Amino acid sequence: MSEISERLSELEQLGLDRRLRLVSGPQGPRVLLDGKPVLLLCSNNYLGLADHPRVREAAADAAMRWGVGAGSSRLVSGTMTIHRRLEERLAAFERTESCVLFGSGYLANVGVIGALAGSGGTVFSDELNHASIVDGCRLSRAEVVVYRHLDVEHLQWSLHRHGGRRNAAARRLIVTDSVFSMDGELAPLEEIVELASAYRARVAVDEAHATGALGPDGRGAIAAAGLEGEVDVIVGTLGKALGSYGAYVCADEEIVRYLINTARSLIFSTAPGPPAIAGALAALELLTERPHRVQRLRSNARALRRALAAEGFPVADEEMHIVPLIVGEEDASMRLCQAAVERGVFAQAIRPPTVPPETSRLRLTVMASHTPAELRIAAEVLGESARAVGLDPVTVGPPLLEEDLAHTDEYDEYGVLREPVVTAQSVPERQQGVPFDVERRVEHPEAVPALLAGELGSSRGPGQPFDLERETSGVRAA
């Protein structure tokens, strides 16, 4: 047996193997899943704009006018008028000076972290941040300090340990999701911004699940918290509420100029194509013209949550559009997913490494385009499916407990993320008077994929402007 087939059968035995399911038709409330009609309850097309006629038309028109591909990196010939127009609109929407588009949210996070906290810098990252942030930390070659999920006291302690308040010259970056993708929790943005200012760190906030879903006129969690103008870097994706593909970073002009000069995932990757950009532009227009969609999403979220509670699931009565039904064991979550699909509801089971072991779940997501009746039916089907596979809904769902987080440093073995995570439980002893002794230096060149290794030269000496790690005379773009 080859190493690959061994690995695959190991994943199968652990209940962790993945298959691609085929959806026919657009990402609407009802789709054909592998040929079978189902209610779709796991798409991030939160506002129902991916399949909106105006968005489709805009993308189709753009294909006719500008073609399909952008042809090269943004730094070569890939910056087209349509890119510039969307950047201007997004900067106005986010109320920042400037904006730059990236190929995807994943690329944006990787680029931002590497640029703002490269070698010699320090990144402070929530332990449940998205995999793209985790990978950004790894590739950046900065020192990575992972603080406990949502724990501002731990973040403060970590900032204190790594440079304190005095060290203004050190490049320090705090990075967090604003809405955590798998649990729908909100980051403590106000406290994070305060700590950043006290400890002279920059803050980057990933609004992937917040843009279009919360805040005044759907402007996200930063706006909802009244923090506009106080976050250094806002990362957003065009792939979720904005119904398209691609991503953006909003910041002041200087930071954007710096990213254009140093963010490797921008420089070395083809610009997103005109149809995707025009589609996002139309979606943004629809959002700003008719922000009632955001309210519809939120009232739908409450409707689903109440209907699930009526079935016995312990979900909070709130308006967050991401609703985790935490089953625990991998196999059980797959069985629940399958039972629901057979009864006409599709909510994909999410397993490690996307979530910590023992917290496998159905991650339900609401769309503004669902009807309340569809959401009630979905809740009934989920209740019936849980009972059919021997699960009492009452036991399905409490959000992550402190103990659940204890294992997060184990699951790197199966794929991607969170190598630097150290949680309180994994630290043998705490020192007297020191709240948490969990700092960790990440100096692991092995984290740099082999593909890139050839490109990485020796570190630049002092006085050299950028941490591009390329020994070529100029920036060579893809």
Active-site amino acid positions: 181, 209, 240
Pick the closest to residue 338 from 289, 372, 386, 395 (CA basis): 386
Both tokens of 458, joined, read 């020796």
Q: CA 174, 178, 179: angle at the middle one, nearest 5? A: 145
Query: Does the footprint of ligand PMP cover residue 136 (CB under 6 A)?
Result: no
**Three-class SS state of 312:** coil
- Scanning 73-81, 119-127, 205-213, 334-342 for contacts with ligand PMP by CB under 6 A, the matching segment is 205-213
Residue with tokens 């070529």: 472
| 177 lies in the binding site for ligand PMP (CB under 6 A) | yes
The three-point CA angle 457-459-465 to 5° equals 110
Q: How far is the CB of 276 from ligand PMP (least distance, A)?
A: 11
The two three-digit tokens of residue 233, written as one number: 């870097």
Q: Should residue 45 be labelled a site residue for ligand PMP when binding is judged by CB under 6 A?
A: no
Q: Report in angstroms how near the CB of residue 250 gets to ligand PMP at its nearest.
A: 15
Residues numbered 65-124 forming contacts with ligand PMP, rule: CB under 6 A? 104-106, 109
Give the containing element (helix H, strand E) for 323. strand 322-328
The stretch near ligand PMP (CB under 6 A) out of 22-30, 204-212, 431-439, 467-475 is 204-212
Smallest distance, ligand PMP to C-beta of residue 145, A? 19
C-beta nearest to ligand PMP: residue: 105
Q: Is 206 in the site for ligand PMP (CB under 6 A)?
A: yes
The one among 146, 247, 307, 355 contacting ligand PMP by CB under 6 A: 247
Quick note: the x/- pattern for ligand PMP over 226-245, rule CB under 6 A, is: -----------x-x------
Report the nearest approach of ligand PMP to the CB of residue 416 (Å): 12
368 binds ligand PMP (CB under 6 A): no
Which residue matches tokens 């990978």? 135
Asked whether position 135 contacts ligand PMP by CB under 6 A, the answer is no
Helices and strands, counts by H and E, the chain:
15, 14
- Rounded least distance, CB 91 to ligand PMP, Å: 19
The DSSP 8-state label assigned to residue 234 in this structure reads E
Q: Which is nearer to ligand PMP, 155 or 182 (CB)?
A: 182
Give every strand in the sheet of 322-328, ordered side by side: 322-328, 360-365, 349-350
Q: How many residues are there in the chain?
A: 478
Smallest distance from the beta carbon of 267 to ligand PMP, in angstroms? 17
Neighbours of 452 (CB within 10 A): 12
Which segments of 96-177 are extended strands (E)?
A: 98-102, 122-126, 143-147, 172-177
* Coil vs helix vs strand at 89: helix
Residue 272 or 357 with smaller CB distance to ligand PMP? 272
Q: For 300-341, what is the HEC assignment?
A: HHHHHHHHHHHCCCCCCCCCCCEEEEEEECHHHHHHHHHHHH
Of the pair 73, 244, the CB lying nearest ligand PMP is at 244
Binding-site member from 52, 83, 130, 418 for ligand PMP (CB under 6 A): 130
- Apex CA 340: angle with CA 332 and CA 416, to 5°? 50
Among 208, 251, 278, 362, binds ligand PMP (CB under 6 A): 208
Q: Please, which residues bridge with residue 364 across strands?
A: 323
Which residues would be at the binding site for ligand PMP (CB under 6 A)? Answer: 104-106, 109, 130, 132, 177, 181, 206, 208-209, 237, 239, 247
